[in-house]
Amino acid sequence: MLPDSFLIYIVLAPGLAALTGLFHKWIGDRVVMAITTGVVMSAGALSLYQLFAYVAGLASGAAPEHHAGFDAYLTAGTDVASVQLKQHIITLMPWIHVGDFQANWAIRVDTLSIVMMAVITGVSGLVHLYSWGYMSEDPHKARFFSYLSLFTFMMLMLVVADNFIQLFFGWEGVGLASYLLIGFWYTKKAPNDASIKAFVTNRVGDFGLALGIMAVFFVFRSVEFGPVLEAIRTNAIVTPMAFAEALPARESVIVFFGERVYALELIGVLLFIGAMGKSAQFFLHVWLPDAMEGPTPVSALIHAATMVTAGVYLVCLLAPIYEYTFFASGMVALVGAVTALYAATVGMAQNDIKRVIAYSTCSQLGYMFFAAGIGAYEAAMFHLFTHAFFKALLFLGAGSVIHGMHHEQDMRRMGGLAKFMPLTYAAMMIGTIAIIGLGIPHTKLGFSGFFSKDAILESSFAGAMAGVSFAEVAFWFGLLAAFLTSFYSWRLIYMTFHGPAPHAAHDHHGADDHAHADDHHGHDHAHTPHESPAVMLIPLALLSLGAIFAGFYFYDAFVDGQNEAFWAGAIYRDAANHVLHDRHDVPEWVLWAPLVVTVGGFLIATFTYFFNRGVGARVAASGGPLHALFSNKWYFDEIYQATLVRGSAFLGNIFWRADRKIIDGIGPDGMAKLAGLGSRGLSRMHSGYLYHYAFVIIGAAIVFGAVLWLRSGGAN
Amino acid sequence: MGNLPILTLMTFLPLAGALLVMLIHSATGGRGQSGKLVLATGILVSAATFAVSVAAFVAFDPNTAGYQLVEQHAWYGPISYKLGIDGLSLSLVVLTTFLTPICLLASWNSIEKRMTEYVIAFLVLETFMIGVFVALDLVLFYVFFEAGLIPMFLIVGIWGGKDRVYAAFKFFLYTLIGSLLMLVAMVYMILAAGSADVEVLETYSFAPGIQTWLWLAFAASFAVKLPMWPVHTWLPDAHVQAPTAGSVILAGVLLKMGGYGFLRFSLPMFPDASALFQPFMFALAVIAIVYTSLVAWRQTDMKKLIAYSSVAHMGFVTLGIFAFNETGVQGAIFQMLSHGLISGALFLIVGVVYDRMHTREIAAYGGLVNRMPIYASFFMLFTMANVGLPGTSGFVGEILTMVGGFQAATWAAAGAALGVIFSAVYMLTLYRRTVFGEITNPELNGIKDMNLVEWICIAPLAVLTLLFGIAPNLIFNLTDGSTARILSMMARGQ
């Protein structure tokens, strides 16, 4: 679509812009901010143009295989199934070339990366802009903007990779940026703890991802997506590296820990463990709520719209693997469904505004995963796409609230904010209506969440009818989660924007420590909530447009009539996989069920938090076991602390003692005692041991020489 | 370059420099003021040595697999003076000549006593270290290998911390046993093959039963050097007691002699035994990685933590070497070079604050970022390199050795991959406790950021860590010939 030079600009320029942060002492904060924001926003404009132009090209009625824009720039891949993969790869330079292990620095352009580029740079550009207001009083603005751009660069490298290794580079790179940004306020304890927790939990996932990549190389003798996915698509015969026989790719086996297992199953499970870490899925989700210690624009960009969706992107990109697995795809569906429900239950019982949205993110990611797990990859990507708009909107709206409330995050101290910040209120309402997926079945009237979430739920039901494993569980969990989503989202709105205003006697606390923007309001009402400056409201307005219209506008392309032409082979489905299409054949009640539960959640929230504001607090105070379970996040942190962390520390201490007592005790110290070299004797002869050593060497050399001399004929 | 004995020149130039230093010392009457002059001379000599190694690099043809720039003179019976390099030894030689001037420069403000002897010790050590990598004769190798210990003992024992004697003693005891066994094996080999020439021995087939014993004897020496679990306990003590420059050279170069030894001798000369011991070595590698990573996490002394981390990272080297495939061996060589840069830099990083505060206790620090932002940035870079973040050289070595290991034994790769998690735990904890947070120790309030000398020492390592992380083919192009050659000799046994 775009010329190569523009694509290279989109991917690399944010990385270079990030480097300007190193020179902020000389060029000043403002210059760093202007460069990073300008670069990322221009990249965003280009990427969005590319996406819109592409979709417009589809709509112009060109034949699916010959839509104008694509053929000009994308070279055709090999024939796969029914759809040709259209892909364009720009190789920048070689990276690691060792035998068959060939990884290049490259930019891969296909529909998946076009969509991801638009999401990443679009949201990132707005977050950069928003941060001008939000971070205006922070003393480390240059560092902040530099990290944001670094993140953008790493995320782009992840989605444009043409091989597993560059993907891993971006994968860990976004982890680094996330670590740096969560711990941005590095003098405080909580952000430091949270940043380490995030990095280490992600590393647990990366353990799986790395092993998965090793298994891929083992089986396919390549780490490039092209040949690997091609082999699976065509079911080519592959010969793994060692001790396994040549078999068709989909039936290939591998011996792992002494067990013969299907290679694709193993690869699928291992890679998904990586995705679970990055996308905060059940078991590895514990870092995401704590990540809210970072500045709010970071939460919007990294921990809502982009980085955490990398796992979903990975599963969709590697659809050929998950299409031909049973356990791995079942695991994706089950873990996704459980996460969708689990996170929603916890989200109901949180009082920190950012944590509610964080659990909401976790839950929505669960939807994306179970969609992918049952084979509706397009629906997963569609939800990823629409979710980026409304979740970034909700986070930035929450940031605006926190900003206006002078860094208060506890919703129990909020209330009645609607009249103080009407524009933020409007934005949050739009975000809420979008996330609960309000819309009328059979029509195209609805906010963006309606289109994507209902596509997922209907596909799951279609999958259940077709007997796809865990599809039925996914449907019911998803439906229940939709009910809870509606409840906690409205609870947030009511607690924050409605009711009486308890903030008259306000004291400063909460983790968001940005200094307040005094230039936007006078000191006289420093303790009164206020609306945010325009630089923060403009991103809210633009994201609101996306939250309203993105679903409607892109529905056809992503999941409906034009989806094959749109994806152009970038998402692979087996010829027998019809879940996405079959969602049109589900019973009528399935279409209405989401609307019913959503309205139900809304009504309950309205009764408990709007008309009778005390009810929610009383339920919480009554201390029921269920509430305790939810508000304590099912005690995951406590369990992990008691087992994994304590266990490792215990082992570490044991090993360290073993080093000193056993190894040294038997080894050098023991020998020293045996030889009668007590510590006193040792210190007396501390200049002597060198002579001993030299003596041994020289003596040995003499003996050695003598033996040689004798053997080679001696004096003869 | 013609007939210029470039390797001999490179090897003995530092030794000649040591003589020069002695002359300067006596010419100036050995008074205290001569310290900086002597040190400057040492730096210049080692820089010149680096220049010669670059010349060797230029003269080296990476497309030829065998030994190059060979110099051979008959010496005594089966023993000859034979030098030569292949890609493996050249890369380690350049690492040595690159790190030595940095080490000497890093001593500019930190060494106060006996400067002349210090510089001499370092220059002599450099000669021996280069000699180890260029020697192509068993006896010559042995002489360099063992002789190198003496200056290292002196560096730890004279300029070290308060428990330097215990540390040096431990170092001595471990190394001695390994060396004696290796010497016995060498005698046998020379008698059996009738030559001490490495190239001759590479083609000589020892009977499998004999190979086992010879392999064990060599491994005893190399395992101590690398070091492998459970003969690693000398390393933390030696590191903690050694002066900063000593730690840099110890971690940067001396440990690599173990890996080099396995690749130069054990694999090509005892292929059957190497294959026999593969599971054993994998087990030790995985134990080293997991065990020492956990131990590193429990340390309260910065240098000890990094020393244990070194043991863990050398576990990846073992894993890669004994994978017996191209990815593994290339990865192991790369990991040795990368670890030389990263751990060297980390010891320099610790040295920066040690010179200011004279303590290595982690608890004495905290909040350094508030006073030393540039230091914090460099420290962050090397922290990330040490945890193997892609884009730094640390990643390339780790992923390739694991990919190689996976092909040989999935459990070994999975065990090693655990180390990737733990390394993040201990390094980030270290960083957080020393650099992040508020300043709680009032003595840190006046601490100064990195000075010019420290910049000059650390910045080149940072540049190379990133360069090799982004373009590792610069190394692989150099080492692929020798890797293929080693593997072909290895394959001969199976």
Q: What is the pLDDT of residues B35-61, one digit of tens each?
A: 788 888 889 999 999 999 999 999 998
Tell me the average pLDDT across A313-328: 93
pLDDT band at A632 (very low <50, low <70, confident <90, very high): confident
A303-333 per-residue burial string, b: 16 or more CB within 10 A, e: under 16: bbbbbbbbbbbbbbbbbbbbbbbeebbbbbb
Q: Are B297 and A649 in contact (CB under 8 A)?
A: yes
Considering CB atoms only, which of B179, B230, B406 is closest to A663? B230
Considering CB atoms only, which of B157, B294, B370 is closest to A655? B294
Mean pLDDT of chain A: 84
pLDDT band at A77 (very low <50, low <70, confident <90, very high): very low
Q: Which of A284, A384, A374, A393 is nearest to A330 (CA)?
A: A374
- Residue B67 and residue B85: Cα distance in Å, rounded? 5
Q: Which of A509, A423, A537 is nearest to A133 (CA)?
A: A537
pLDDT band at A247 (very low <50, low <70, confident <90, very high): confident
Q: What is the 3-state secondary structure (H, E, C) of B266-291?
A: HHHHCHHHHHHCHHHHHHHHHHHHHH
- Residue B182 and residue B185: Cα distance in Å, rounded? 5
Q: Are B381 and B465 in contact (CB under 8 A)?
A: yes
Q: Which of A355, A254, A249, A248 is nearest to A299 (CA)?
A: A355
Chain A residue with the nearest C-alpha to that of B291: A655
pLDDT for position A510: 42
Flag the least confident range among A336-340, A561-565, B5-9, B122-126: A561-565
Radius of gyration from C-alpha coordinates of chain A: 29
Assess whether pLDDT exceeds 70 at residue A698.
Answer: no
CA distances from A82 to A571, B225, B227 (A): 12, 59, 56
Flag the least confident range among A150-154, A299-303, A675-679, B290-294: A675-679
- Residue A323 and residue A232: Cα distance in Å, rounded? 10
pLDDT for position A640: 82
Beta bridge partners of A253: A262
The verdict on a CB contact (< 8 Å) between A207 and B424 is no
pLDDT for position B222: 92
Residue A359 or residue A684, greater confidence: A359
H-state helical runs in A377-525: 377-404, 422-435, 448-465, 471-497
Across the A:B interface, residue pairs with CB atoms under 8 Å apart total 196
Q: Are B265 and B221 in contact (CB under 8 A)?
A: no
3-state secondary structure of A708: helix
- Number of other residues whose CB lies within 10 A of the CB of residue A52: 13
Strand-by-strand arrangement of the A75-79 sheet:
A75-79, A84-98, A101-109
Q: What percent of chain B has pLDDT over 90?
A: 53
Considering CB atoms only, which of B330, B424, B472 is closest to A203? B424
Assess whether pLDDT exceeds 80 at residue A233.
Answer: yes
pLDDT for position B281: 92
pLDDT for position A638: 82
Q: Which A residues 108-147 touch B at CB under 8 Å?
A: none
Using the Cβ of A290 and the Cβ atoms of chain B, whether some distance falls under 8 Å is answered with: no
Handedness of CA B294, B299, B301, B304 (dihedral sign): negative
Assess whether pLDDT exceeds 90 at residue A252.
Answer: no
Interface probe with B: pick from A104, A154, A187, A214, most Cβ of B within 10 Å = A214
- One-letter amino acid for residue B330 of the chain: Q
Residues of chain B positioned with their CB less than 8 A from the CB of A218 = 406-407
Residue A669 or residue A691, greater confidence: A669
pLDDT digits (tens, 9 = 90+) for A405-428: 888 888 888 888 888 899 999 999
Angle subtended by helix axes A377-404 and A534-559, to nearest 10: 170
Assess whether pLDDT exceeds 70 at residue A689.
Answer: no
- Encoded tokens for B184: 């016995």
Number of H helices, E strands in chain B: 22, 2
pLDDT band at A132 (very low <50, low <70, confident <90, very high): very high
Tell me the average pLDDT across B76-84: 86
Tell me the average pLDDT across B406-434: 92
pLDDT digits (tens, 9 = 90+) for A489-506: 999 999 999 888 765 544
- One-letter amino acid for residue A690 of the chain: L
pLDDT for position A142: 92
Write out the H or E segment, with its range, that includes residue A91. Answer: strand A84-98
CA distances from A695 to A688, A700, A701, A706 (A): 11, 8, 10, 16
pLDDT for position A82: 45
Using the Cβ of B301 and the Cβ atoms of chain A, whether some distance falls under 8 Å is answered with: no
Tell me the average pLDDT across A21-46: 93
The verdict on a CB contact (< 8 Å) between B187 and A206 is no
Residues of chain A positioned with their CB less than 8 A from the CB of B480 = 98
Query: Residue written as tokens 């011991």?
Result: B277
- C-alpha dihedral, A301 to A303 to A308 to A310, nearest 10°: 20
Using the Cβ of B466 and the Cβ atoms of chain A, whether some distance falls under 8 Å is answered with: no
pLDDT for position A507: 45
Q: Are B150 and B97 in contact (CB under 8 A)?
A: no
Assess whether pLDDT exceeds 70 at residue A684.
Answer: no
- Residue B45 and residue B55: Cα distance in Å, rounded? 15
Flag the least confident range among A608-622, B200-214, B296-310: A608-622
Residues of chain B positioned with their CB less than 8 A from the CB of A214 = 402-403, 406, 413
Tell me the average pLDDT across A179-208: 92
pLDDT for position A419: 86
Write out the H or E segment, with its range, that includes residue B357. Answer: helix B326-357
pLDDT for position A416: 83
Q: What is the DSSP letter of A532?
A: P
Q: What percent of chain A has pLDDT over 70?
A: 85
- Residue A584 and residue A589: Cα distance in Å, rounded? 12
pLDDT digits (tens, 9 = 90+) for A535-593: 999 999 999 999 999 999 999 889 988 888 888 888 988 888 888 888 888 899 999 99
Tell me the average pLDDT across A610-626: 76
Tell me the average pLDDT across B74-103: 91
The backbone torsions φ and ψ at residue A101, rounded to the nearest 5 degrees and listed phi first, read: -80, 95
Q: Are A149 and A121 in contact (CB under 8 A)?
A: no
Q: Which of B127, B54, B62 is nearest to B94 (CA)?
A: B54
pLDDT for position B215: 92
Q: Which B residues 61-100 touch A at CB under 8 Å?
A: 76-79
Q: How far apart are the first and last CA of chain B?
A: 40
Q: Which of B29, B417, B376, B494 is nearest to A213 (CA)?
A: B417
Using the Cβ of A705 and the Cβ atoms of chain B, whether some distance falls under 8 Å is answered with: yes
